[in-house]
Amino acid sequence: MNHLAKGNFEVDLRPLPFEGTEPQWKLGRMSIDKQFSGDLNAASKGQMLSAMTDVAGSAGYVAIERVSGVLNGKQGTFVLQHNGFMNRGAPTLSVAVIPDSATGELEGLQGDFKIIIEGGKHSYEFTYCLPNPLS
């Protein structure tokens, strides 16, 4: 059975060095630190890699972040994988739980994580499922 978790989050992105590249390649790396509130009360840490292009509004990024906290009363950790594109200003973003990455009471967690940015504020809608407990 699918569940829906909603809430807000604060994010702190900081530039990191991207070794072995030339500036004209337009590659970047950043640290990710998030604090989630709402149905997911958690913190995450991760890293993002990005690529800009010479065309305005076109870019891409991938990221991995490990989330640790409580999801609707269940404690544990899980890892989210991001895959995002901007195609001349049109965004496409997929964020999902990496299979078998969850621990604790979240073991077996599967789901898709939607990031919403409106008025400079970040919120989320996390559609997820957990395996039925063994009898």
Confidence class for position 132, pLDDT limits 50, 70, 90: confident
pLDDT of residue 135: 34
| Dist. CA 21–CA 60, nearest whole Å | 17
Tell me which residue has tokens 């829906």: 4
Regarding pTM above 0.75, the answer is yes
pLDDT in tens, 67-109: 999 999 999 999 999 999 999 999 999 999 999 999 999 999 9
pLDDT of residue 133: 64
For the cut 70, the answer to whether the pLDDT of residue 127 exceeds it is yes
Cα 21 to Cα 25, 26, 55, 120, distances in angstroms = 7, 9, 20, 32
Which structural domains are found in the chain, ordered by start? 3-129 (2.40.350.10)
Tell me which residue has tokens 């991001």: 82
pLDDT of residue 21: 87
| Dist. CA 17–CA 22, nearest whole Å | 12
pLDDT in tens, 7-36: 999 999 999 999 998 888 999 999 999 999
